[in-house]
Structure 1
Amino acid sequence: MAMTRAALTDIDIRMLVKGDTPDARASAAQKICSRMDQADLDDEDRAKAQDILRIMAGDAAELVRKALAVTLRESPLVPRDVAMQLARDVESIALPILSFSPAFTDADLVEIVRIGGPVRQVAIASRPKLSEKVTTTIVEHGVEQAVKTACANDNARFADRTLQAVVERFSKSEAVLAAVAYRRVLPLAVTEKLIAVVGDELRDHLINHHALPPDLALEIATGSRERATVDLVDQAGRAPDVRSFTRHLKAGGRLTASLLLRALVQGHMTFFEWGLSELAGVPHHRTWLMVHDAGPLGLRAIYDRAELPPRLYSCFRAGVDAYHTMEAEGGELDAERYQERLLERFLTQPRAAAPEDMDYLMDKLDRLRAEIGRMDRAVGEPGPAAEPDAFQYV
């Protein structure tokens, strides 16, 4: 075996097979696994290495099997039959493999979730990647901690109906609802369900970080929900269906010049275009051409057609110009820094908007700068020291 001759010694393999004590065999197993994982194997060597892993997985000593499970927990070298054997082993051996190993199929994980018990369910829920098929099974058959862990795992994919089922099944569990609320992305229907059942703190988080259905956003904005406020500009930027959102705003009397200006100078150009389109009664593609016309007449024509206040036109012109300048400069800016730069450019223009809009934009800029500062500090701070493996031989 070329790989064995290059990376291992005959003594290592004899110690693995015939070592007098579990400690000796475990030490050999850990050494062999580490070197296997680092070796460049051809098909023949891979098959022979996997035969050695099968010997380890069948060793009577728990320490040997644990050495295999911990050392190769993320390795593609572990064959599926060995992974399944280790998954049925005692928890100290099963959990590393269940939490990380790529050897399992979705069908394997579904079966283990159904019959494997709570601890194994939680381990699977924390895996670096989960399909909708597996998360659906966790939600249907998993204990509360497993469902919470899966929902808190942003690398776990959920069907919309599955997340709705979580909210229905665990409507009294603050921990599970919080895990759902703090996911990076939520479907509108799930956000709406959550807002109806969570407390004030989670409700504020949902309103400030997730898109709301247009009718709910308007309901909250008009004060019909106690102790809740919504920034319609932020909601405009998050709306997955901007056309529907602008139509709801118009129907509710909230598609105002102030709202459009605030959105424009924060970079929500698509919303601005659709807002003008709705107010002017002009198709979006024609509105887009007029807004982005290199000459001075297009924006003025669509602005007047929308019957927006003539006194504010210069502010809108300055906002569009600042946006075009930013686009022309290009550069790699994250969303927060892009928005900060755009606001700075607008606020340094000589044309002043209404006092309440200027106050709003200055406050928004301050909040953006604070958020960027927090992000920079988080990046600059050293992370926690890595914890040692549960099993390690030196």
Structure 2
Amino acid sequence: MAVPIPSDITSTLASAGPEKRLQTLRSVTDLFLRQAPLLVEDQVAVFDQVLGFLAERIERYARSELAERLADVPNAPPETILKLASDEIDVARPVLERSPRLSDGDLVSIALTLGRDHMVAIGARPNIGESVTDALTIHGDGAVAHSLSRNLTAKISTSGFGRMMALAARDQDLQLALGERADLPHEHLQSLLGMAKEVVRARLAAIADSRMAGLVAAAVDRGAARLEEGGATARRLEEREIEELTLRFGRGELSEADVATFAREGRRAQALAALALLASLPRSIADRVFVDPDEDLLLIVCKAIGLHWETVDSLQRFRVPASHRPYDATRLRDSFDRLNPATAKRVIRFLHAREPRAERMN
């Protein structure tokens, strides 16, 4: 039978010093781990209350230790696990990667609110479903795609693979990681071979399984000219889509909803073109929007044309990362909310004035 914990323990610990709280945390954790297989949920809830209380009042290294100890326990205290998963990444990582207590909904919420490092850890988690991997591929960057591509137990949707393929276009390591996945759709493997450099293409051919062998051989035999033609075809399709956007803009049919859709789907070129048209941006500014280290440039453009934060958030999340700083949605939203629309418009007019007319996007 489980050993009961006194109901007034939290009030007793409230006045205890740091060392006493740490000793108590370890003792209560030891007790829980010994009793865990015998506990019913009501009893787990008692441990949850105590461990959660202590976890909020101990140093980071102690929270990291607690996360490591609880990460593999099937009936670990759920609220404590959720707090640890939402902590700094060195605390959260073992829980995000392994804890069976986290639901797909928990994982998606954490991914969207806490950013890249947490998404990388979630991407390494065994047997994650498509709702989670879709969130990671929509909002994650190359580092997240690498983590997810190496996780052979992850369930990735066709659209999720498509978004990862877009990131792989300039990333040979990601090309190889995707090529090693037995669940990569045939059409994506064909595209992968088309975009790969010669050395990488040879390695992809070497690691492709027997199911793909005929496709790999045929693609390699067609040679560089055919592959170049495939790349040119893809570029022409993209250019035609952008031309259609320009026509729609001329008819007054282009709106924020189009920008938001392109952003959610990870279609960078189309999102950039739509944003540039709506803001009448010079080409040089439009090209810098997603790569400039100053994240405020995109905020200013979006504020000037009256976009909502949800659209801005989607655009910011797939910017080409100009640094290794984690995505900070709270800071960026605060900056966006504080921007004065009139000021943003003046900044855009000033930037327009500095650019040659020939560079303006029509």
Q: TM-score range by the shorter chain?
A: 0.5 to 0.7
Query: CA separation in 2, counterparts of 1:24 and 1:96?
Result: 25
Give the letter aligned to residue 83 of structure 2. Answer: Q
Equivalent position of 1:197 in the other structure = 195
CA 17–128 in structure 1, closer or farther in 2 if over 3 Å, else same: farther
Equivalent position of 2:18 in the other structure = 22
Equivalent position of 2:3 in the other structure = 4
CA 215–53 in structure 1, closer or farther in 2 if over 3 Å, else same: closer
**TM alignment of 1:238-387, pairs within 5 A:** none
Deviations 1:267-293 (A, max 9, x none): xxxxxxxxxxxxxxxxxxxxxxxxxxx
Equivalent position of 1:41 in the other structure = 38
CA 189–27 in structure 1, closer or farther in 2 if over 3 Å, else same: farther
Query: CA separation in 1, counterparts of 2:194 and 2:12?
Result: 59
CA 67–31 in structure 1, closer or farther in 2 if over 3 Å, else same: farther
Higher relative contact order (CA 8 A, sep 6+): 2
- Given the two structures, how large is their TM-score scaled by the length of structure 2? 0.53
CA 67–3 in structure 1, closer or farther in 2 if over 3 Å, else same: farther
Equivalent position of 2:67 in the other structure = 69
Query: CA separation in 2, counterparts of 1:148 and 1:16?
Result: 47
SS in 2 for 1:158: coil
Larger radius of gyration: 1
**TM alignment of 1:65-104, pairs within 5 A:** 65-104=63-102
CA 75–191 in structure 1, closer or farther in 2 if over 3 Å, else same: same
Give the letter aligned to residue 127 of structure 1. Answer: R
Shift of 1:117: 1.5
Equivalent position of 1:32 in the other structure = 28
Shift of 1:37: 2.2
When structure 1 is superposed on structure 2, of 36-45 and 59-68 the one drifting more is 59-68
Query: CA separation in 1, counterparts of 2:185 and 2:213?
Result: 9
Query: CA separation in 2, counterparts of 1:94 and 1:218?
Result: 46
Shift of 1:154: 0.7
CA 84–146 in structure 1, closer or farther in 2 if over 3 Å, else same: same
Report % sequence identity.
Answer: 21
Residue pair 2:71, 2:94 contacting (<8 A) in 1 also = yes
Equivalent pairs, count: 219
Superposition RMSD in Å: 3.1
Residue pair 1:86, 1:93 contacting (<8 A) in 2 also = yes
Equivalent position of 2:51 in the other structure = 53
Shift of 1:99: 2.1
Query: CA separation in 2, counterparts of 1:38 and 1:200?
Result: 56
Shift of 1:143: 2.0
SS in 2 for 1:224: helix
The gaps in structure 2 that reach 5 residues or longer are 226-362
Deviations 1:196-215 (A, max 9, x none): 01123332233232334856
Equivalent position of 2:167 in the other structure = 169
Residue pair 2:97, 2:124 contacting (<8 A) in 1 also = yes
